[in-house]
């Protein structure tokens, strides 16, 4: 079973279909099989949950030239900067993370997410950080002046 949003798609292989028994048609057997597959509840997280990577020139060079968001962290895993690679970033995430790495000396870890909605996601990550810690990351003092309020579950 594959869940897409609130819809569930069940794929069945022909050779795995149940066989009809005791006067039951194949269609009835398939319907019975489908009823036993109940969709599971899925938790949706807005947190950036990818694992941290070491912030080195080699790992930055391996980044895709795509739009997205990223977080920089200190050695102990505290987020110190949240940034984005927008339409004006010459080489997408690769150049945006490299610029931030050169500017923020105490950053040793990073993680990223490729997304076309980079500004919305950027603001969402900032709001989440404020909700968790009560303040913006140390190097995000130039963040947008109008951030909404987020109440994560």
pLDDT in tens, 138-148: 999 877 777 88
pLDDT over 70 percentage in the chain = 71
22 exposure class (CB count in 10 Å sphere: 0-12, 13-18, 19+): exposed
Q: Which CATH superfamily is domain 53-133 in?
A: GIY-YIG endonuclease (3.40.1440.10)
Domain layout of the chain by residue ranges: 2-36, 53-133
Q: What is the largest CA-CA distance in the chain?
A: 74
Name which of 120, 112, 102, 127 is nearest 69 in CA terms.
Answer: 112
Which band of pLDDT confidence, cut at 50, 70 and 90, is reported for residue 35? Answer: low
Asked if 10 contacts 1 with a C-beta cutoff of 8 angstroms, the reply is yes
Over range 84-96, report the average pLDDT: 92
Q: And the tokens for 131?
A: 């909700």
> Structure pTM?
0.69
């Amino acid at each position: 079973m594959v869940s897409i949003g609130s819809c569930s798609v069940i794929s069945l292989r022909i050779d795995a279909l149940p066989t009809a028994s005791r006067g039951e048609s194949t269609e009835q057997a398939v319907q019975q099989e489908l009823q036993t597959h109940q969709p599971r509840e899925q938790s949706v997280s807005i947190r950036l949950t990818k694992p941290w990577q070491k912030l080195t020139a080699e790992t930055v060079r391996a980044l895709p030239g795509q739009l997205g968001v990223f977080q920089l962290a200190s050695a102990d895993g505290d987020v110190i900067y949240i940034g984005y690679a927008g339409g004006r970033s010459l080489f997408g995430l690769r150049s945006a993370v490299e610029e931030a790495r050169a500017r923020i000396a105490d950053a040793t870890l990073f993680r990223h997410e490729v997304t076309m909605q980079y500004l919305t996601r950027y603001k969402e990550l900032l709001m989440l950080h404020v909700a968790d810690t009560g303040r913006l990351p140390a190097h995000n003092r130039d963040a947008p002046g109008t951030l909404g309020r987020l109440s994560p579950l």
